């Protein structure tokens, strides 16, 4: 199918970014939100972002003007989707809200239109159940900021057709993005499914008094070489975002429990930079300042703990034919700016070493961290990674 007109539901942080990406790629875009105020805010952010693109020489002023003219802000949902070939929903992570919007879109959008959701964790199948076209419902998860991040996860629901999936992958490429495919509908998909459990485990460790937040972040920065600590990164992206993914997994995954450390922040409204306070305090709401973390705090904590858990979750995706090793490592590199893929790292460390560490983690922290059967099989076959010439 030929895609010309794109409708974006939501003018917030993700919505306005996706609308800008589509317009910069030459598509006519309608951007819908529930009030003129929200739409005005979204357009203001788009103009600011486009201005930055001009400053950096990525587009000309003439191209910027064309981009802005391609975006039509609307309050009317019917008017926004009635001529759409492809709809991308980017509203808050609330299943009932998304189902309601998809039901409305389904009633107004042309029969050929594909309906995509930008959810980062909710099941595509459950969202699609609100429509009469589940074969045309797909996940299209952009990363924040959508204008800059190259990765897009494409997720198949239980009834998503191959044609819908392929069209979404091709559209992502036309947007200048690098798509990865999640072949089965699982909570968290690829990115959040493999990274969230490790983050949650470390939050449990801090809650139990085994480490401090500063010790974890210092080790993450000064030992693992990451640009910011794990807790500082959660503050930056929003503790509420991480919590929504964790809560959704808790509801659907046996033995997975959200750390009280995370829950406490949500209850207090201390959700990170946007609130002015999270695990660290900030100058003002929405004003980021890198927390001062002393290198001497880095000695106690081993930042590889979350890596072992991430490898385990990734192995399960491979074992269940949900994602390929190549797409998993691509996700980590492009979605989280990691210099090396987690499976490449596992091959370097040795699969036998990873398996041994995971058994220690399972013994101490519970059945959720039970090593994947794939890892067990690889060790039995002698597929230990670099040292044996074969691994992931």
Helix H or strand E segment including 155 = strand 151-156
DSSP 148: T
299 burial (CB, 10 Å; 0-12 / 13-18 / 19+) is exposed
**What Cα–Cα distance (Å) separates residue 265 from each residue in 16, 42, 278, 343?**
28, 28, 7, 32
Q: Are the CB atoms for 95 and 128 separated by under 8 Å? A: no
- Beta bridge partner(s), residue 32: 9, 74
Indicate the angle between helix axes 304-319 and 342-349, nearest 10 degrees.
110
Tokens of 72: 């039509």
With CA atoms as reference, report the closest residue to 316 among 274, 358, 280. Answer: 358
DSSP 281: B
Q: What angle do CA 358, 360, 361 make, to 5 degrees?
A: 65
Measure the CA–CA gap between 17 and 21, rounded to whole angstroms: 6
Q: State whether residue 203 is helix, strand or coil.
A: helix
For residue 139, report the phi and psi dihedrals to the nearest 5 degrees.
-90, 135
Instruction: Catalogue the active-site residues.
Output: 120, 141, 153, 192
Measure the CA–CA gap between 172 and 22, rounded to whole angstroms: 9
Q: Are the CB atoms for 33 and 15 separated by under 8 Å? A: yes
Cα within 13 Å of Cα(352), Cβ side: 10
């Amino acid at each position: 199918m030929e895609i010309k007109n794109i409708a974006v539901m939501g003018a917030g942080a993700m919505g306005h970014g996706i609308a800008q990406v589509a317009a910069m790629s030459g598509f006519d875009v309608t951007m819908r939100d529930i009030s003129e105020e929200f739409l005005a805010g979204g357009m203001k952010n788009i103009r600011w972002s486009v201005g930055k693109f001009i400053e950096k020489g990525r587009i000309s002023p003439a191209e910027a003007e064309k981009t802005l003219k391609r975006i039509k802000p609307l309050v009317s949902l019917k008017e926004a989707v009635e001529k759409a070939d492809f709809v991308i929903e980017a509203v808050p992570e609330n299943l009932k809200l998304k189902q309601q919007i998809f039901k409305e879109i389904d009633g107004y959008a042309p029969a050929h239109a594909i309906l995509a959701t930008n959810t980062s964790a909710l099941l595509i199948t459950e969202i699609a159940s609100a429509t009469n076209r589940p074969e045309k419902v797909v996940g299209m998860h952009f990363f924040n900021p959508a204008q800059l991040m190259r990765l897009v996860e494409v997720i198949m629901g239980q009834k998503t057709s191959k044609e819908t999936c392929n069209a979404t992958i091709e559209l992502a490429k036309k947007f200048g993005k690098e798509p990865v495919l999640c072949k089965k509908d699982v909570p968290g998909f690829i990115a959040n499914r493999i990274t969230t459990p490790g983050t949650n485990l470390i939050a449990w460790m801090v809650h139990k008094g085994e480490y401090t937040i500063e010790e974890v972040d210092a080790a993450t920065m000064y030992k693992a070489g990451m640009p910011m600590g794990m807790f500082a990164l959660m503050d930056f992206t929003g503790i509420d975002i991480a919590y929504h993914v964790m809560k959704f997994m808790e509801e659907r995954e046996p033995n997975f429990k959200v750390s009280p450390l995370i829950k406490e922040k949500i209850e207090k409204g201390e959700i990170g930079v946007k609130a002015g306070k999270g695990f660290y305090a900030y100058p003002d709401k929405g004003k980021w300042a890198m927390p001062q973390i002393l290198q001497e705090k880095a000695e106690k904590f081993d930042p590889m703990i979350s890596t072992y858990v991430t490898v385990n979750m990734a192995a399960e995706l491979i074992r269940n034919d949900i994602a390929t090793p190549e797409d998993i490592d691509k996700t980590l590199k492009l979605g989280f700016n990691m210099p090396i893929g987690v499976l490449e790292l596992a091959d370097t460390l040795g699969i036998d070493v990873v398996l041994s560490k995971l058994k220690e983690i399972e013994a101490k922290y519970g059945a959720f961290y039970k090593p994947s059967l794939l890892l067990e099989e690889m060790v039995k076959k002698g597929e230990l990674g670099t040292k044996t010439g074969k691994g992931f």
